[in-house]
Amino acid sequence: MPKLVTLAFIVLGCAVFFLHPALALVFPVSDPKFLYKDTSGKKQSAEVVDKYYPKKIVKPFAADSQIDPKLRRAASIAEERAHAHSLSKCWHFVKEALVAAGVVKSRPQTTLAKQAGQELVKDYGFKKLPVSNPYEAPVGSVLVYGANRAAGHVEIRTENGFASDFRSKTPSRRPLIGVFAKS
């Protein structure tokens, strides 16, 4: 008899233990919420984000008729020559695309990417556009990013995203110095 009682407790314990995962399969779990109290003491909740979806570029804004059409060609050249990952030669690749498309007659001489905007304006007739969001930059424009102790970054806006020595659907996270284009 004691063996039967012990066996019954084991069976019931296993049933309770395995019933919980089985119920999880049957009943859907609602979206997880983060609960907190705001400054006034009221209970608030917010959805927990468990997946990150970067901004997707569906189609860029219409071609800007005031921008040199050769810049669109430079964008496609940059995208064709770009690699999947950075080679740390962004300004070199952008310079080559600008020369190949005929946007500039000679290779720019600055070595640091963060100096690109100044040189393009001073020596090659580019103008700084009143754009602060890289996604709103016209196709073919040159985006220049700064960095405190680094060379910075430069890329060309393409139809599918951004290109320099590598292609990307999202812009650089560095602080944007400016968006430059030629008319």
Q: Is the pLDDT of residue 43 over 80?
A: yes
Q: Does the predicted TM-score (pTM) go above 0.85?
A: no
> d(Cα 117, Cα 150) in Å, to the nearest integer?
16
Arithmetic mean of pLDDT, 146-165: 92
Is the separation of the CB atoms in 108 and 122 below 8 Å? no
| pLDDT tens profile 126-139 | 999 999 999 999 99
Considering only CA atoms, which of 175, 94, 179 is closest in space to residue 135? Answer: 179
Per the CB < 8 A criterion, the answer to whether 156 and 143 are in contact is yes
More confident residue, 106 or 5: 106
pLDDT by residue (tens digit) across 63-101? 566 778 899 999 999 999 999 899 999 999 999 999 999
Please state, rounded to an integer, the average pLDDT across all residues of the chain.
83
Beta strands in 30-150 (DSSP E): 33-37, 43-47, 127-129, 142-145
Q: Give, in words, the CATH class of 69-181.
A: alpha beta
Q: State yes or no: pLDDT of 108 exceeds 80.
A: yes
| Residue 39 token pair | 């400054």
Q: At what angle do helices 90-100 and 69-81 cross, to 10 degrees?
A: 130
- For the segment 160-168, the average pLDDT, to the nearest whole number, is 93
CATH 3.90.1720.10 segments of the chain: 69-181
Q: Return the pLDDT at 62.
A: 47
- Segment 27-48 shows an average pLDDT of 77
